[in-house]
Amino acid sequence: MAASEILIRPVTAHSPEIMVCARWRAGAFPDVLGASVDDECRRLNDFIARDDGLALIALCNGEPAGTCLLAPKEIEPCHDLTPWLAGLYVAPEFRKRGVGAALVHAIEDAARQRGHRSVYLYTDDAEPFYARLGWTVQERLDWHGFPMALMVRGV
Ligand SMILES: CC(C)(COP(=O)(O)OP(=O)(O)OC[C@H]1O[C@@H](n2cnc3c(N)ncnc32)[C@H](O)[C@@H]1OP(=O)(O)O)[C@@H](O)C(=O)NCCC(=O)NCCS
C-alpha cells in the first residue's frame, strides 16, 4: 500500500465535516452517546462553540478518515480530572495506517499547548492500542456492568 498522507485539523462549527464526524460518533458509540446523528450534530456544534475543548478530524490523502476530541469533561463516573481524550474513531477503511496514533498525538500536543501536564481517557476494549502509545492504566472500574480502564498519559 502506498504511504498515506495524514493531515489533522480542527473541525469548525457548521462545516460539512461536522455531519461526517456526527455520523461516525453516533454509529460507533451508541451505548455511550445514545444519540441520533442529528442530535450528535447539534452536540458537536455546541461543543465547538463552547471553545473549552477541541474537535479534530484526520484527513488521509484528502479524505475524512477519523476524529477525536479533547474534552474538559467525560461521561460518568465523573472522575474529577481534566482534560480527556474522547471519541477516538477511525473509519474502518483507513485503519492500520497510523491515523489513530496521529490523532492521539495531536490531542496530546493540544493538551500540552493548553498548559496541561496529563491527559485522561476511558476505554473498554482499546487498552492495548493506547498502551502501545505510552498510556498507562490509572484505575480499573465497572461501567454499567462492563469493565473499563481509566488511562493517563503525561504530556
Ligand atoms: C482503535 C482505533 C482508533 C485504531 O486506529 P488505527 O488508525 O487503526 O490505529 P493506528 O494505525 O494508528 O495503530 C497504531 C498502532 O496501534 C496498533 N493497533 C491498532 N489497533 C489496535 C488494537 N485494537 N489493539 C492493539 N493495537 C492496535 C497498530 O498495529 C499500530 O501499531 P504499530 O505502530 O506497531 O504498527 C480504530 O481501530 C477504531 O477507530 N476503532 C473503533 C473505535 C474505538 O475503539 N475507539 C477507541 C475508543 S476508546
DSSP per-residue codes, 12-79? PTTSHHHHHHHHHHHHH-HHHH---HHHHHHHHHHHHHH-SSEEEEEEETTEEEEEEEEES--STT--
pLDDT band with cut points at 50, 70 and 90 for residue 39? very high
pLDDT band with cut points at 50, 70 and 90 for residue 140? very high
pTM for this predicted structure: 0.94
CA 117 to centroid of ligand 1, rounded, Å: 24
d(CA 133, CA 42): 32
Report the candidate in 4, 80, 9, 11 with the shortest Cα–Cα distance to residue 47: 11
Q: Which residues line ligand 1 (CB under 6 A)?
A: 28, 88-90, 95-101, 123, 126, 128-129, 132
C-alpha cell at 128: 492495548
The pLDDT assigned to 74 comes to: 87
HSE toward the beta carbon, residue 127, CA cutoff 13 A: 12
The pLDDT assigned to 30 comes to: 83
- Whether the CB-CB separation of 70 and 85 falls below 8 Å is answered with yes
d(CA 13, CA 44): 8
C-alpha cell at 138: 490509572
Task: Give me the sign of the Cα torsion angle 105, 106, 111, 112.
Answer: positive
CA 154 to centroid of ligand 1, rounded, Å: 20
d(CA 119, CA 130): 12
- Going by CA atoms, what residue is nearest to atom 34 of ligand 1? 132
Residue 2 above 70 pLDDT? no
Give per-residue pLDDT as tens, 48-98: 999 899 999 999 999 999 999 999 998 776 788 999 999 999 999 999 999
